[in-house]
Amino acid sequence: MIEIGQRLPSTPVMTMTANGPTPVQADELMGQGLVVLFATPGAFTPTCSAQHLPGFIERIDDIKSHGVDQVVCMAANDIFVVHAWAAASKVDDRITMIADGNGDFAEAMGLGMDVSAFGMGQRCQRFAMIIQDGQIQSLMVEAPGEFKVSSAESVLAALEQLNQ
């Protein structure tokens, strides 16, 4: 598993632009400034839609008040599903939404998981990280079935720790 102090892998993820689905290297997208990345195993899934993404939407101003330049949400779905989830959740441009549909980014970080037993195939673990200029400063990976350490509140606490 990727560790604090390591750099983000140069792995493609997908974004949605005015021109449609667009690949971008993860390390380029999140390699400048202070970035918060939180990852969900799947868009429209219960915890992701009821708690994880909404928590970041509600606390976005608090998070950015700590000098965060960009908040990124990654889901292990195709970009069309991620884009529809962003629209349904009224994300607008406050959070950068990315898709890791093939799981390449999660796998490169050692944060993939197999949920084939539930008919969901390869996904990413639920996690959050704070990244400074492409280098991981804080990493919060959930235990299976949990939602505690990757919440917006936990990220805010980690940001406060880093600012001390």
User: Per residue in 71-123, pLDDT tens?
Assistant: 999 998 999 999 999 999 999 999 999 999 888 999 999 987 665 566 565 66
> Is 0.85 topped by the overall pTM?
yes
Instruction: Evaluate whether 137 touches 164 at the Cβ level (below 8 Å).
Output: no
Q: Is the pLDDT of residue 53 over 80?
A: yes
116: helix, strand or coil: helix
Determine, yes or no, domain membership for 58.
yes
The catalytic residue among 30, 48, 128, 136 is 48
At 43 the pLDDT is 87
By residue range, what is the domain housing residue 140?
12-162
Determine, yes or no, domain membership for 1.
no
Determine, yes or no, domain membership for 65.
yes
Say which CATH number the domain at 127 has.
Answer: 3.40.30.10
* Active site annotation includes 48: yes
Which of the four pLDDT bands, split at 50, 70 and 90, describes residue 139? very high
Determine, yes or no, domain membership for 125.
yes
131: helix, strand or coil: strand
Quote the number of domains for the chain: 1
At 37 the pLDDT is 98
